[in-house]
Structures are given as C-alpha cells and as structure tokens.
Amino acid sequence: MSTDNPTLDTAPKTSNFIHQIIEGDLNGASAPTQIVTRFPPEPNGYLHIGHAKSICLNFGAADKYNGVCHLRFDDTNPEKESQEYIDAIKRDISWLGFKWHEEIKYTSSYFDQLYSWAVYLIEQGKAYVCDLDVEQARAYRGDFTTPGKNSPYRDRSIEEKIALFAKMIAADFAEGFCSLLAKIDMQSSNMNLRDPMLYRILNVSHHQTGDKWCIYPIYDFAHGQSDSIEGVTHSICTLEFEGHRPLYEWFLANLPVTNVPRQYEFSRLELNYTVTSKRKLKQLVDQNIVNGWDDPRMPTISGMRRRGFSAVAIRKFCEMVGVTRSNGVVDVSMLESAVRDDLESNAKRAMCVVDPLKITISNFADQACEMLSLAVHPKLDMGIRELPFSKHLFIEQQDFSEDTSLGRKKFKRLVIGDYVRLRGAYVIKADAVIKDEQGNVVEVLASLVPGTVGANPDPEFKPRGVIHWVSAEHAVPCELRIYDRLFTDANPDKNKEKSFTQLINPDSLQVISRAWAEPSLLEAQVEDGYQFERTGYFVADMDSTADKLVFNQTLPLRASKAK
C-alpha cells in the first residue's frame, strides 16, 4: 500500500495524555513488545474532519512509538455499508499521508470466530436467546431512573439456548423475531450492562461475505474481540464510548482470548457552523442540498480535499486542536487559519480577472505580443511562468476610478491621469475613457512607460500601486466557484426551533460563470492550488474541461472580520 506522500513525517510533534499513557506502558514492568493501534471506521459514509483527528491520533501514535496501526472496517451493519465508502475511506487515509499495517482488516473476517465465542458464552451460562420484541425489550430494559427486569427467556436451559441460536443461524426465524443477549445485570446503573444484544437476525447480503450469514454481531460484541485478535495494545476511541468500556472489558474477561487490549477515550472534534453526523451528512447528499459527499462545502476529507485544503494543513490543525478529555466546540476559523498559512507558503501564484475592464495600450503595436517571465512563487523555487503582454488587457473594474481627487493612500489603483504598475509588467498611465450609452466606463485608453518591466521608473512616473491583469487576446475563460459556510447558524445541530436543513446558507455557493485567467493555468492539474492575485486561494477542480477551466475558491486571502 502506498500513499500520495510516502515520505511525509506523520508522527506528532507534540505530546498528549494518550502519549503519556503509552510511554508509561512502555516503561512499565509488563511493557508490550510493540505498540499496536487501530482505526476502525464503519463503511457507511465518507470520513469527515472528526475522523481526521482520530486518524492522526491512532496512526500518529503508532508512528511516534515505532508501532503499527491497523485499518479495520467495522462492517457489522451491511444495510448501510457499501464498497463505495470502503474505497473512499482508503483513499482519504492514504491522501492524509498515513499507511496501515499489513492487509486491510474487516470485522467480517472474524465472523466465524465471533460466532464460536457467542456459543461459548451460551455454554458458560452467560448468554441467551430472547424472544422479546423491540417494544417489550425496551420496557424490560428500564431507563436511567428505573432498573430493568429479567427477560422471561433469560433462564432457559443451556441446551435450549444452543438449539435456538442454531435455528437463528439456520434462518429458521423471521428477521427481528429473536436475538442473542449477554447475561450480565439488568439492575446495573450502566445501561450498557443490562443484558446487551450480541446478535440480531438480519436477512441482508453482506458486501464481503455475501449471503453466508443471516445473523450479524453488534458493534459492542465485535469491537473488543477484533482488537484482541489483531493484537491491539491501545484501543483509542472517543468519549461517547466511555460508558461502553465496562462492557468491552466484560467480554474480554469472559472469553478465552489471549490478548487483552485496553480502551482509552478522548474528546471528539466538533466545529461550529458544521455537522459531522454521518446520518445528517448523508441526508444532505440524498436530498441534493449538496453535490455529493465530496462537495467542497462538506466537512468530509474528500470535500476538503476538493476545496483545496492540503493534507499537511489538516494534520497541522488536528495537532493544534490537541487531544484531551474535555468536550468543546472549535471555531472553524482555526481550521481556515491553518489552511491559509499553508497556502500562503506553498500555493503557486497566478492572475485571474473576475470582473473585467478593457485596457487599450495606445503606444503598443496592434499585433505585437511580448512574453514576460514571472516567478511561480515569490519565495520558493517553483520555476517561471510566461505571460503574454499585448495591446489589449483586462483589469478588474474595481481597480479603476475616474475620481482624480482620490488620494494615493486611499486608492492605490488606476486613476485618470496617474500611474499604476501592472504586476510583473509595465507601469501604465490612464489617459482617457470610453463609455457606453448609459455612461458606464467600458474601456480605458492608457499608455505604458517604456523600460519599466522589472525596473523602477523615474520619480515623475511613480505608480500608485500594483494591480493584476491578463492579456485580453490570450486570456483563458474559466469558471470560479465561490464557497461560504454551509450553515448560517454557528450550532446547526443544537437549534431547538429549526431542523439543521432549515439553516442552510443560501449563498454557500456562488458561481462566476466567466472569469479570465492567465494562460499558464491551462497547465493546471486537478488539485493544483493557486493564489490568484488579490482574489483568493483557488484549486483546480475535476470538472475542468478542454473548453473551460473550473476553479474552486479554497478561502479568501484574509479572514472576514464578520466571521
């Protein structure tokens, strides 16, 4: 298995309480021979930014302590799983720069062993087949203030329980007719220990095992045992599984396993203006509110990648957030800042005019074309790009004013009778304008100052500032997709008056169907990131064609104060 970035250093630079636990274990009397972690996603959707934190923690800890990390698909719920999600998860982990140990693991690979262990629990008098339906089971279970009561089927003989379980696997019962439960304690204050389900009947074909099984294990029964089979030493999960830890440990203590991993919990990553529930993200996709799981407005790793976020920036953000046991919401601007810092340092430079105003250079020959050389990056050695300079240019409408009273400090752009430098090109002077019937300026007649390419002009020609431009004859048409946050509410998951789908930002996507880019962008490959002069950070999108380039805005050049 290879990654797009096989030489990246993915080990975390900082330490956290999980690292401290691992270091303590390594220095202890019964130190493990090797640290083994795992990342166990359920293949029922695409990975999101919260998963990125878990990926960085699990794979990063293994890297830091010369251990290994398994990728295991928790595929115990085939109704909601698919190969599409498996492929997307593999792709995202590789793109982030991590490598899993050995072959990919599947919980379904352990179904035979899990079934044998279920029979073992029955034989030990610690599991039973229960015929209560869903409503009856809920009533018997009780709640946080009411203790549960034993199922009337709890004390069947072991022989009867084994026979009934055999009928379950033989498909002799209808779906939902009965289930296999662990026999623990219906009076426990921990709801997870009130005779939890181990197996349910589910007549669904599995994407890995086909139609071999008609019963499937519950996550709680499969998880710890899968960790044990794989030799996991540190089973790291989010805080919502803290209450499940006693059950995790109960199974390991009551089954003949040879390896006993330990579970540790950390706080999940939550961002404002974001939802990360896979159920809700799928709803956005299914209702066509977004254009798929990789829509650049989505908090999925695929969406952020298409938006132009780099793997380095996402890993950096996850390290900035840190690993603690305290729940909290992180401001999404923190993620945007990490991305912006990365782009400022590494994005290629280019010019693209969004709202064009025609400039005609009166003292430049009609058919002439002068090729100018500009650096791809002002500080990094990324090579040179060639820009054609011609008689007719495009600049931004907002970069010109007829108001000659505007002071140079207030307006550092082009004004009638004054000078401005074209980025990487000549100093020009605006001499006159041409207007349409409505009085709108449609063209500026200008003259260039000879000998000012790469050289400072005489003081009398000192420019007000620098503006970007493209040659009108050579400009490449492109589509720009401008993205804003998907939700108008900072906490779309917690609004008690409106559904999260009612809080969608109607301006989360604006499309500029025709902008004009410098011709060097014809060489842009999908996921190539650019800083468009004074416009923003953009990335080449997969929808680009030979006839029209498409660029997604990753972020504006600066954070908006309003946000």
Residue numbers annotated as active site: 42, 268, 278
Distance CA 166, CA 119 (A): 9
Both tokens of 394, joined, read 């495009």
Buried b (16+ CB within 10 A) or exposed e, 128-161: bbbebeeeebeebbbeeeeebeebebbebeeeeb
Report helix, strand or coil for 240.
Answer: helix
Contact yes or no for 115/124 (Cβ under 8 A):
no
Distance CA 477, CA 469 (A): 14
Task: Annotate 469-538 with DSSP letters as a single string.
Answer: -EETTTPEEEEEEEE--SBSSS-TTT-SSS-GGGGB-TTSEEEEEEEEE-GGGGGPPTT-EEEETTTEEE
What is the rounded CA–CA span in Å between residue 528 and residue 348? 8
Beta strands in 295-424 (DSSP E): 329-330, 348-350, 352-353, 356-361, 369-375, 384-390, 392-396, 400-401, 414-415, 419-422
For residue 468, which of 343, 374, 547 has the smallest C-alpha distance? Answer: 374
Question: Residue 105 is inside which H or E element, if any?
Answer: strand 105-106
Give the Cα separation of 485 and 341 in Å (integer). 19
Question: How many residues comprise the chain?
Answer: 563
Task: Name which of 116, 141, 119, 140 is nearest 129 in CA terms.
Answer: 119
| Pairwise CA distance, residues 306 & 542, whole Å | 8
Please compute, for residue 22, the number of CA atoms within 13 A of its CA located in the half-sphere on the CB side: 25
| Closest by CA position to 179, among listed 143, 215, 211 | 215
> Cα–Cα distance between 222 and 224 in angstroms, integer?
6
Cα 214 from Cα 231, distance rounded (Å):
28
